[in-house]
Chains A and B, each alone.
Chain A
Amino acid sequence: MMNNFFNPKSIAVIGASRTPGKVGYDILKNLIQYGFEGAIYPINPGADNILGRKAYPSLLDVPDNIDLAVIVVPPKNVLEVINQCGAKHIDSAIIITAGFKESGIEGLKLETEIVNKAKELGMRFIGPNCLGVIDTHSKMNASFAAGMPAKGSIGFFSQSGALCLAVLDRALPDEIGFSKFISMGNKSDISDIDIMLALSEDENTKVVLGYIEGISDGKSFMEVAAKVSKKKPVIILKSGVTSSGAKAASSHTGALAGREAAFDAAFKQCGIIRVHTINDLFNYALAFANQPLPKGPDMAIITNSGGPGILAADACDKAGLQLIPLHKELVDELRTFLPPVASFYNPIDILGDSGAERYEKALLTVLKDERINGVLILLTPTATVNVEETSISIANIAKTTDRPLLTSFMGKKSIESGAKTLLRSGVPNYNYPEEAVSAINAMYRYHLWINRPEKKYHSFEGLRDKAQGIFSNAKRENRERLTELEVHDVLNAYGFNMPRSLFARTSEEAVAAAKGIGYPVVMKIISPQIIHKSDIGGVKVNLKNKKEVENAFFDITTKVKNIMPHAHIYGVLIQEMVPSGKEVIMGITKDPQFGHMIMFGLGGIYVEVLKDVSFRIVPVSQEDAYEMIRETKTFPLLRGVRGETEADIEAIEKSILILSQMAIDFPQIIEADINPLLVRKRGRGVIAIDARFAIGGD
């Protein structure tokens, strides 16, 4: 579909200029200079000839077919050019011109007109407000960037033109190869989704690299990204995430789920490898583009100095990679050529007086152990080591193995040419060992992702009907939240256990209720104006007798009245004291871009401070639920510490899946949270102690 953008037979540059320094000049020059082999038609009403090519006054004057229009005219003329493209049956355009929605209302109007016109004509375009497009394989540089990257297998798209330039400039001296370079600009027609699909189908692209500031359609983005990432690694740098802009949310979930959380969850769920720095973007891209994926977590480290070896070992450990010792016979083999004071176990320290030969022998020995899934080779430029020779040896071995080799030759001046040799043969070199570990870890995680079985989604049918009436009723009354009793009924309908509870208006009724339930009991204020009961002293626990219930009734109602004189008090809820367990929090929240998310974390009163929560976009698969529980730092508490028995983790998983179902069943839920959800011992299930639901919208 996007072939004309990358491999056109003919290109017209509308707004081509004779004046060096003008964008219309630079683009034409780039096309010619970097050897585009198709026809090039400069369009300029005032010129006969530009840079040796015949110029035409208008597109309509070009006698031949044109595959791709590159538009550089002033904004007010773009619409006219689009019309001409229509007349010439051109279906693909790159609009370089700036001055559209990024510049104000007038610009937005122009942009909308262009989008509508293009749609009408069945035409697709990249931009506006972009740098252009480069395809190294078709030798097309339809951009005003200074330079042309080397041919390679990294396909890069970016919302920011400036970042394109920076990445390109950084790539040039190291001859880092790209397949395609796409500056997206305002993304008013062709989107990240289109580009990901195009790069996924492109034979020359092995790795998809992207810089994204925002996306417009979260759900489709995830759907496409999940497919593409199963085929090729997709590495994305996402910026522009701040939590401070988040709307004031009325309960925990909203406050904790900024958009950052949504992106993070979405990327995890569709297998996108997320990086947070431009440096990592490069580091990962080089590894993925040039090296095979490790098929397991077992790594070996070869080093000529202790410190970097330990740093690398630490980094492996933190990342969840393992350093296993080699087979005994291979250790013995190492002993035959390494000095006796060397370290033969993993990390293998071949000592500071090593030369290229020792590196080579050690590496060959390590690779004989099939259990090793990848090797990191660290080098400190000592006086004895010959960097150039060592890099040649490693480069040669890399060609013969199907396992990834990553190097970290540390330093600058003395390792520079060695690093270049390595990179030329596809072995990326990293400034520091941690960077190499981080890259190989990303590759291992990606290996797990592509080999992961299809996600399993549970659907819980028939639950919806039981709760439908409650939601309809709330909507009819135009309410923003469900009442206590409605929440109770909804959770009940979805199979959540809840503590037995009875409503009471007076202390006599409360005593009777407590008697009915059996002491000890909990008492909670019930008022539509009070969302966070315990904040204002509206909850008393462990009431053991009539007297305590009476006192609690007085205390709670008086306190609430005092603090919130305008709150209407319905009465109190008398609840059974639930058995002990671990408190977790679970909820639904709605993100403007990705829709509903499920939140999980350790509960109780410290949830806001610790913010140890994880999120997944709905629908949540069984694997997602499994992972999101284990992702929290406090997970070991659920496992049980110091001899405690394990909590019912399976019941938590099921609850997550049920909430996901609920969010699908009732899209009008804006926010819901169950806090605390009491998790009992394994096999005994969970109990929803307290919950809130905010509703609205559709």
Chain B
Amino acid sequence: MVTIYVGSTAGYTGKTLVSMGLGSRFQRDGFKVGYFKPVGILPVKIDDTLTDNDAWRIYRGLNLSDPLTDLCPVVLTQELLVKSYLKDVKGLMKRIENSFKRISINKDIVIVGGYGSIYTGSFLDLQGLKVIKKLEAKVVIVVKYEGEYIADYVLQAKRDLKERFLGVILNKITPEYHKSVEEYVEPFFKRKGIDILGKVPHDSIVGSITVEELNEMLGGKVLSCHHCLGNLVEHFLIGAMQVDKAIEYFKKTRNNAVIVGGDRADIQLSAMESGSVCLILTGDLYPSEIIISRAEQKNIPIIVVREDTYSIAKKLEKLSVRLRLRDKSKVERGMKLISENVNFDLIYRKTGLRS
């Protein structure tokens, strides 16, 4: 049995999607796959069993059948967080080991999902590095590619992981960074003996969010088109200019949501006419009936939020790094992306699963 730990050197790099993508391809290639999340940070109760939301999605996505209670033995609820700061909570690592043992039975590969970075978790004495050693896992580091500097972190991870280090998957590479990957990072990693297991391009649909999630995150009220809450938003624009400029700007961007003051009927109309998929009205200002009925006609949900435009934009910026895989079409597209852009032969070879 091979244990592959999917970790990172920072949070929100796309570990969940990579885990799901790896698992699904492994299954397709004929392996018996398990998934295990030692520490979860997204508490959810499934039939009264406390587990982690991301882990639950992968569990379902891969059609797994291990007992749910073992899927994620330590979930960081507010409760656990408070208690661990007030006094040391004992027995957590034991719980992880036991669950992992049960999950590994009858598996060729168990994918272990890390949380945060491989250095996170020390406050619970459950640091990623420590868990990796306990579970005797090989490690794939997922990096969100944001420029050459990430090489620095990968190097450190390799030093810390030693022989457990399998290689790195560069994720969410936007077109402007293609050259930087090819010209600097690939030759550099080669020289340092680091294998690049995958180069996954950024995909705006995978990075999109449904209007429903958006509304939940922003704590808004939906005023129209409750049946279109599944609309996917890929980009956010701020509507604060003159109408004629605004139309140009809105038209150039696919599947955009426009953030605009609730009293700017002119911008709201032009956004709807130029193909925006959602309006986010700020300042707790409600639009006129004309706007609402137009939105109904064009199937564009309108969300009213309390904060001003800048605060909402700031919130969305934070939000974009921690998108969750909820939507089925997004998941499928994401898995395909992994399958196509990760070098599975190399992984199999390095883990001895195939020669």
Contacts and interface: CB of A to CB of B under 8 A. Distances in A.
Interface of A: 243-244, 248, 250, 255, 505-507, 532, 535-536, 553-554, 557-558, 561-563, 565-566, 569, 571, 608-609
Interface in B32-59: 42-45, 50
B79 A557 contact: yes
Contacts of B44: 558
Given A244-B263, A608-B286, A561 B306 contact: no
12 contacts: A243-B263, A244-B285, A248-B311, A506-B82, A532-B219, A532-B306, A553-B78, A554-B43, A558-B77, A563-B217, A571-B82, A609-B286
A507 B79 contact: yes
A561 B286 contact: no
Interface in B255-288: 261, 263, 282-286
Interface string B226-239: 00000000000000
B77 A255 contact: no
B324 to A, nearest CB: 9
A563 B219 contact: yes
A243 B284 CA distance: 13
Name, among A248, A569, A571, A609, the residue most crowded by chain B CB atoms within 10 Å (CB to CB).
A248
A504 to B, nearest CB: 10
Contact of B82 (A243, A244, A505, A565): A505
A608 B284 CA distance: 8
B217 A569 contact: no
Interface residues of B, number: 27
B57 to A, nearest CB: 14
B83 interface: yes
B308 interface: yes
B176 interface: no
A255 B283 contact: yes
Contact of A248 (B220, B308, B322): B308
A506 to B, nearest CB: 5
A255 B262 CA distance: 12
A553 B80 CA distance: 12
A506 B220 CA distance: 28
B318 interface: yes
B97 interface: no
Nearest to A572: B78
Contacts of B78: 506, 553-554, 557-558, 561, 569
Contacts of B217: 563
A270 to B, nearest CB: 30
Nearest to A555: B45
What 5 A-B pairs are tightest by C-beta distance, nearest first? A557-B78, A248-B308, A535-B219, A536-B219, A244-B263
B216 interface: yes
B138 to A, nearest CB: 30
Contacts of B286: 608-609
A535 B42 contact: no
A565 B322 contact: yes
Contacts of A563: 216-217, 219
A199 to B, nearest CB: 38
B186 interface: no
Given A535-B219, A553-B79, A554-B50, 15 more contacts: A243-B263, A244-B261, A244-B285, A248-B283, A248-B311, A506-B82, A507-B79, A532-B219, A535-B220, A536-B219, A554-B45, A558-B42, A558-B78, A562-B42, A608-B286
B212 interface: no
Contacts of B195: none
Nearest to A566: B318
Contacts of B45: 554
Contacts of B220: 535
Interface string B181-222: 000000000000000000000000000000000001101100
A563 B213 CA distance: 9
A55 to B, nearest CB: 53
Nearest to B311: A248
Contacts of B263: 243-244
B307 interface: yes
Nearest to A508: B79
A510 to B, nearest CB: 10
Nearest to A509: B82
A148 B83 CA distance: 85
A506 B216 contact: no
Contact of B77 (A532, A557, A609): A557
B277 to A, nearest CB: 21
Nearest to A247: B308
Contacts of B285: 244, 255
A554 B77 contact: yes
Given A553-B78, A558-B77, A571-B82, A255 B219 contact: no
B43 A558 contact: yes
Nearest to B261: A244
Contact of A506 (B43, B83, B318): B83
A553 B81 CA distance: 13
A569 B77 CA distance: 12
Nearest to B307: A248
A609 B43 CA distance: 35
Interface in B278-323: 282-286, 306-308, 311, 318, 322
A608 B286 CA distance: 9
Nearest to A255: B284
Nearest to A244: B263
A554 B79 contact: yes
Nearest to A535: B219
A15 to B, nearest CB: 42
Nearest to B306: A532
A610 B258 CA distance: 26
Interface string B105-147: 0000000000000000000000000000000000000000000
A608 B322 CA distance: 31
- Name the residue in A561, A566, A569, A571 with the highest tally of chain B Cβ atoms < 10 Å from its Cβ: A561
B248 to A, nearest CB: 24
A244 B44 CA distance: 42
Contacts of B311: 248
Contacts of A255: 283-285
B56 to A, nearest CB: 13
A244 B308 CA distance: 12
A560 to B, nearest CB: 8
A536 to B, nearest CB: 4
Contacts of A248: 282-283, 307-308, 311
A307 B143 CA distance: 81
Contacts of A554: 43, 45, 50, 77-79
A571 B45 CA distance: 20
Nearest to A565: B322
Contacts of A557: 77-79
B75 to A, nearest CB: 9
Nearest to B318: A566
Interface in B71-100: 77-79, 82-83
Contacts of B79: 506-507, 553-554, 557
Contacts of B284: 255, 608
Contacts of B322: 565
A250 B78 CA distance: 27
Contacts of A250: 306
Contacts of B42: 558, 562
B76 to A, nearest CB: 9
A608 B285 CA distance: 8
Nearest to A246: B283
Nearest to B315: A564
Contacts of B261: 244
Contacts of B77: 554, 557-558
Contacts of A571: 82
A535 B222 CA distance: 12
A460 to B, nearest CB: 32
Q: Which of A243, A558, A561 has the most CB of B within 10 A?
A: A558
A255 B306 CA distance: 9
Give the interface centre of B82, B263, B322 by most chain A CB atoms within 10 Å.
B82
A566 B322 CA distance: 12
Nearest to B324: A562
